[in-house]
Amino acid sequence: MPTRALLKRLQINAALDADDVETIKALPMAVRDFPAHAPLAREGARSTQCCVLIEGFACRSKTTFTGKRQILSIHIAGEIVDLHGLHLQVMDHDVTTLSKVKAGFIGHDSLLAITRERPMVAEALWRYSLRDAAMFREWIVNIGRRPAINRLAHLLVEIATRIEEMGFAGGARFELPMTQLDIADALGLTPVHVNRVIQELRRDGLLELHKHTVLLPDLPRLKQLATFDDLYLHRSEALSDV
Amino acid sequence: MPTRALLKRLQINAALDADDVETIKALPMAVRDFPAHAPLAREGARSTQCCVLIEGFACRSKTTFTGKRQILSIHIAGEIVDLHGLHLQVMDHDVTTLSKVKAGFIGHDSLLAITRERPMVAEALWRYSLRDAAMFREWIVNIGRRPAINRLAHLLVEIATRIEEMGFAGGARFELPMTQLDIADALGLTPVHVNRVIQELRRDGLLELHKHTVLLPDLPRLKQLATFDDLYLHRSEALSDV
DNA sequence: CGTCGGGTTGAGGGTGATCAAAGTTTGTGG
DNA sequence: CCACAAACTTTGATCACCCTCAACCCGACG
């Protein structure tokens, strides 16, 4: 069931009834496989469908005229990488796979139709896009006001938290198919400096990183270093919903 | 008519029919005045209403545990500073006035009701929040990948563009009630360095700044310096709407 | 006239950038 | 399965952008 992860993702933040769930499951979705480093959407393009990650990792990024890339967010299975395209005509950034990816594409027409018929689905999606924005805000704080080590710590803890939230693996060990260059572009640093900061975390016993497997041996201390507060992830708000 | 600016703002990005407009005009709204540097909303609070700027400037910000403030966005008349509160229970950041402000407060209950009855209003608001997110993304790129001068240039051009878009004054001259400390917090810099960068722009004939009046004598050159591309503002998308 | 917030200036220091090169791993084709 | 290339990681040396600290100036306002 390709919509399983998506449903899980939406239900973390919204109370959907059985009919809502059925309607989402029935959405026509084209599933495709992509290799790593493949574009899922490009800046300037007019999208006609939304892209849901079923398996694998992707990131959103912008490249300045001077050729520098800035990664805006990392995405895991269950997440919609371009939901904004539903109401914003043209893509203002790129979406690229980080690993091999299985992705589902849902036409804007069918998605718009269901949002107009089922207000709760519309609100779940709207809320999802608001959480997206909340993560961008924290990303701004991270890049603007935290030194490099703390910045990297925050990125790691955020990803660990989000992976755990979706019920994949434990929070302290996970796959992260990002190169040090990717991490640098995510943090607004250079790859050389990221390498040095990684070594510092290793020395402090806060990070083990072989291949693309991350292990966080002392999550509490890492969270402290990151001054991580998960408020901005707006977890489990469904219960208190109107 | 206190909803005039808001309507103008929404209609830039959405096609509202006469009934939609009337419904928005009829929204019960409590108007209040605030001095400069007053909180409009606080991190951790559960909001029950949305705050619309009728006159004046405000900003959104987060403060890290180490006491550093990062400004996330600047807001002008017509903008809703906490629309996300409609679907996200708790505020993940602060909203503060920058100048004297006249603000209108609309209860979540009436706002939710109208979004459920009028899909086009819901979509206009949803789209508004998506544009918000697009501005956060550009803010990330600005802080993460542009040197200080270019960063300041970008901030100035963005504000000039958004003020012009709303039909206030010309794009090259406008009021900006931010201190150099505020600008520093917006750009992820220190006030001392902001001061030096301002002087550099002055020397280059790109900026005049007396009191809180900004004059941009050579907007094209400033845009070039900022490598400013207004794509992310998603201007006038209403026409091509579904 | 004194205080206070904000702007300006100077000296010195450090975080992170740049440049360059050497390892190491990954992946691909023979 | 090996050979080779390409991509990624690591290390070193040097540099610069921006920070820190500190003082002084200026205008607004009581």
Q: Are B206 and B222 in contact (CB under 8 A)?
A: yes
Please state, in angstroms and rounded to a whole number, the distance separating the CA atoms of residues A144 and B148. 12
- Of A198, A2, A207, nearest to A103 (Cα)? A2
Contact call for B145 and A70, based on CB within 8 A = yes
- Cα of A71 to nearest chain B Cα, Å: 8
- For B170-217, give the DSSP string: -TTEEE----HHHHHHHHTS-HHHHHHHHHHHHHTTS-EEETTEEE-T
Note the CATH architecture for domain B4-137. Sandwich (2.60)
Give the per-residue pLDDT at A99. Answer: 93
- Cα of A39 to nearest chain B Cα, Å: 18
Digit-coded pLDDT (tens) for A178-212: 999 999 999 999 999 999 999 999 999 999 998 89
CB count in 10 Å sphere of residue A233: 20
Q: Are B13 and B121 in contact (CB under 8 A)?
A: no
Please state, in angstroms and rounded to a whole number, the distance separating the CA atoms of residues B89 and B47. 7
Distance of C1' in D22 from CA in A102, Å: 58
Contact call for B84 and A232, based on CB within 8 A = no
Tokens for B242, please give them. 């579904």
CB proximity list for A119: less than 8 A, separation 6 or greater: B115, B116
Mean pLDDT of B149-167: 95
Contact call for B137 and A44, based on CB within 8 A = no
Please state, in angstroms and rounded to a whole number, the distance separating the CA atoms of residues A57 and A74. 7
Q: Are B194 and B152 in contact (CB under 8 A)?
A: yes
Please state, in angstroms and rounded to a whole number, the distance separating the CA atoms of residues A103 and B78. 39
Scan residues 62-121 of chain A and list those with Cβ within 7 Å of strand C.
Answer: none
Q: H or E element: which one contains A107? A: strand A101-107
Task: Share the mean pLDDT of chain B.
Answer: 93
Give the per-residue pLDDT at B241. Answer: 43
Contact call for A62 and B90, based on CB within 8 A = no
Strand partners, A233: none
Is the minimum distance from the CB of B145 to strand C below 7 Å?
no
Give the per-residue pLDDT at A2. Answer: 78
User: Given pLDDT bands bounded at 50, 70 and 90, which one contains residue B2?
Assistant: confident
Q: In angstroms, what CA-CA distances link A198 with A163, A208, A209, A235, B201?
A: 21, 9, 9, 29, 37
In our burial notation (b when 16+ CB lie closer than 10 A, e otherwise), range B65-81 reads eeeebbbbbbbbbbbbb
Q: Which residue has the tokens 């900004």?
A: B214
Give the per-residue pLDDT at A170. Answer: 65
Please state, in angstroms and rounded to a whole number, the distance separating the CA atoms of residues B166 and B77. 9
- Is the predicted pLDDT of residue B169 greater than 80, yes or no? no
Instruction: For domain A147-226, give the fold.
Output: Arc Repressor Mutant, subunit A (1.10.10)
- Is the predicted pLDDT of residue B168 greater than 90, yes or no? no
Please state, in angstroms and rounded to a whole number, the distance separating the CA atoms of residues A142 and B182. 18
Tokens for B199, please give them. 């002087």
Distance of C1' in D12 from CA in A190, Å: 16
Give the per-residue pLDDT at A3. Answer: 84
B177 phi and psi angles, rounded to 5 deg: -80, 55
- Is the predicted pLDDT of residue B235 greater than 80, yes or no? yes
Interface test with B, best of A13, A80, A83, A87 (most B CBs within 10 A): A87
Instruction: Reduce the secondary structure of B83-130 to three states and give it as a string.
Output: HHHHCCCECCCEEEECCCEEEEEEEHHHHHHHHHHCHHHHHHHHHHHH
Q: Which residue has the tokens 């990488």?
A: A81
**First-last CA distance in chain A:** 30
- Is the predicted pLDDT of residue A238 greater than 70, yes or no? no
Digit-coded pLDDT (tens) for A62-79: 999 999 999 999 999 999
- Cα of A35 to nearest chain B Cα, Å: 26
Q: H or E element: which one contains B184? A: helix B180-187
Q: Which letter does DSSP use for residue A97 in this model?
A: E
- Which chain B residues have a beta carbon less than 8 Å from that of A231? 43-44, 90, 92
Query: Would you list the domain boundaries of chain B?
Result: 4-137, 147-226
CB proximity list for A75: less than 8 A, separation 6 or greater: A53, A57, A58, A59, A60, A81
Mean pLDDT of A215-241: 85
User: Given pLDDT bands bounded at 50, 70 and 90, which one contains residue A148?
Assistant: very high
Which is higher by pLDDT, B222 or A210? B222
Give the per-residue pLDDT at A235. Answer: 87
- Is the predicted pLDDT of residue B99 greater than 80, yes or no? yes
Nearest to A92 among B89, B134, B188 (CB): B134
Please state, in angstroms and rounded to a whole number, the distance separating the CA atoms of residues A163 and A89. 30
Give the per-residue pLDDT at B3. Answer: 85
Please state, in angstroms and rounded to a whole number, the distance separating the CA atoms of residues A75 and A78. 9
Is the minimum distance from the CB of A171 to strand C below 7 Å?
no
DSSP, collapsed to helix, strand or coil, labels residue B167 as coil
Give the per-residue pLDDT at A241. Answer: 43
- Which chain A residues have a beta carbon less than 8 Å from that of B122? 122, 126
Residue type, B189: L
Whole-prediction pTM value?
0.95
The bridge status of strand B173-175 relative to strand B58-63 is unpaired
